[in-house]
Structure 1
Amino acid sequence: MGDLPEVRVNTFGVFENVGTDYGGPFYIKNKKGRGATTSKAYLCLFICMSTKAVHLELVSDLTSECFIAALNRFTSRRGKPKNIYSDNGLNYVGANRELSQVYNFLNENAAYLGNKLADENIFWHFIPANSPTFGGLWEAGIKSAKHHIKRVIGNTPLTFEEFGTFLVQIEGILNSRPLCPLTEDPEDCASLTPAHFLNGRTITSTPQHNLTDVAENRLSRWQHIQAMVQHYWQRWQKEYLGELQTRTKWRRRFDEIIKVGSMVLIKDDNVPVLEWRLGRVTELHSGADGVVRVVTVKGQFGSLKRAINRICVLPVETEI
């Protein structure tokens, strides 16, 4: 495996170097009530190459004008990037028809978009053809957003405003994910998140009733959107915690990875949206064979014991 690009490992401003990708299509309707017509809309993702912060935009069509409009909305809120990286349309020659529409747009408008952005001192970089692994950062970002959005929304068409509100809340969920501990203080359970680079603090949500178990026909339109956000949170945080626990080879004992004072994420199926249960390990409990399978974790919730398959250790800098 080659080294990561310079923009991934060196210090740059937030969204100074961004990757972009499209997802979809999704279906939106032109108005509420009866007689509404549906049309396609697409998700445009911008992801910071340094901090992994995510910005989501909803675009109504696959045209260069719509992309420039989405880019203008992005730069007005996040600042103007110096470099934009994206896939090459030729990567998806064998893709299905819907994906081909997205990436044919990128391929056909590459020259126009590159020249247009060069006038603004923004440089567009395409990864090599037939090499989607070069764009793993934005591929992972679009997967995190799109994979569960399609399953949560299903066949429910939303208006442009409703879908835009839904995407902004999804953006907040993605930017709330813990990256690493903020300090090495064993009493400090705060973690660094992409939101710290954007707002200087973590993202919190207003209190909401749990609507996931309420019948859909008893919800208003806006309650239905909040229910979809809660369903998305339940699905995505389970997937994210599962990825933190991925083990390709069982070559190291768990007590070589986790130590007293390590910050961990606790897997809990009933936490509210944008709430992560973080704690510090205070004690290791080994079995008769000397292998640690249970730990004691202390946090704002007090002290409790958890099996190691119910916690995820946040990454810290180590010496190689």
Structure 2
Amino acid sequence: MPKMPPFPRSRVSQSIPFASTGLDYLGPIYVKYDGENKKRWVCLFTCFVTRAIHLELLNDMTTEEFLYAFRRFVSIRGAPCNILSDNAAQFKLGSATLDLVWKKVIKCDDVQNYVSNAGIRWTFITELAPWMGGFYERLVGVVKRSLRKVLKGRLVSDVQLLTVIKETEAIVNARPLVYIGDDVNSNINLTPSHFLTLNPNIGIPEIEYEYK
């Protein structure tokens, strides 16, 4: 595939949403595919400033899948100036296999060459200091809890899971960033979505989904 041209980093302000981004994985989530149970993963991008999130669905933990997910993220949110992520030494407690796979993906030459050519600075947190990534680990927990409440352990198809993930992204981005008074419908409530879209209506009906 053709290489993307370098991004003009001097034109990107640090105050722009996702100019500085935290990166983490969550999963696996099981789906039904061709009569079998398959694993799927979610890549979470979160903005340092607005605390907005962007979720991408991955079929596996390969470098190719991650690069495609990252390119989709850049196409929608723009190329970040800085990326912060775990160094994989303690990525998921008690999951040595995931540690090795994640470390192989994010430190792969293809990934690092891509972000280098795009003028992106990738920083890894200090080893054995997972609290340094607490701002995105907290949002990983929020997304996981939301998915558990919606899916309730049920197997869904890929397209259903993608729909749920994008609706979860919209709901999490609609959370308030400031103290809410007695009037919950007040227009002064500031949310991450205010920095991402001019339309505050995310269009998600308040119904109970039944995925069979």
1:104 aligned residue (80, 95, 100): 100
Residues 190 and 133 (structure 1), Cα distance of their counterparts in 2 relative to 1, 3 Å cut: same
3-state DSSP class of the match of 1:91? coil
Between 126-135 and 76-85, report the one with greater CA deviation: 76-85
Gaps of 5+ in 2: 1-12, 181-185
3-state DSSP class of the match of 2:60? coil
Whether 1:72 and 2:71 are equivalent positions in the alignment is yes
**Distance in 1 of aligned mates of 2:170 and 2:98:** 25
1:195 aligned residue (193, 196, 209): 193
3-state DSSP class of the match of 2:194? helix
What root-mean-square deviation, in Å, do the aligned CA atoms of Structure 1 and Structure 2 show?
2.4
**8 Å contact from structure 2 (residues 115, 121) kept in 1:** yes
Q: Percent identity?
A: 31
1:28 aligned residue (31, 40, 47): 31
**Distance in 2 of aligned mates of 1:116 and 1:163:** 28
Describe the superposition over 1:82-118 as per-residue Cα deviations: whole angstroms up to 9, x where unpaired: 111100111248x233xx3333222123142223311
Gaps of 5+ in 1: 1-9, 183-187, 212-222, 228-320
**Distance in 1 of aligned mates of 2:201 and 2:99:** 33
Name the counterpart of 1:91: 90
3-state DSSP class of the match of 1:90? coil
Equivalent position amino acid for 1:37 in 2: E
**Going by fraction, where is strand more abundant, 1 or 2?**
1
Describe the superposition over 1:175-216 as per-residue Cα deviations: whole angstroms up to 9, x where unpaired: 00111379xxxxx642111001000342432545x33xxxxx
**Distance in 1 of aligned mates of 2:199 and 2:75:** 21
**Distance in 2 of aligned mates of 1:194 and 1:67:** 25
**Distance in 2 of aligned mates of 1:181 and 1:139:** 22
Structure possessing the higher relative contact order (Cα contacts under 8 Å, 6 or more residues apart): 2
3-state DSSP class of the match of 1:124? strand
Alignment of 1:1-320 (within 5 A): 12-31=15-34, 36-92=35-91, 95-97=93-95, 100-109=96-105, 110-112=107-109, 113-180=111-178, 189-208=187-206, 210-211=207-208, 223-225=209-211
3-state DSSP class of the match of 2:28? strand
| TM-score using structure 2 length | 0.82
| TM-score using structure 1 length | 0.56
**Distance in 2 of aligned mates of 1:96 and 1:17:** 29
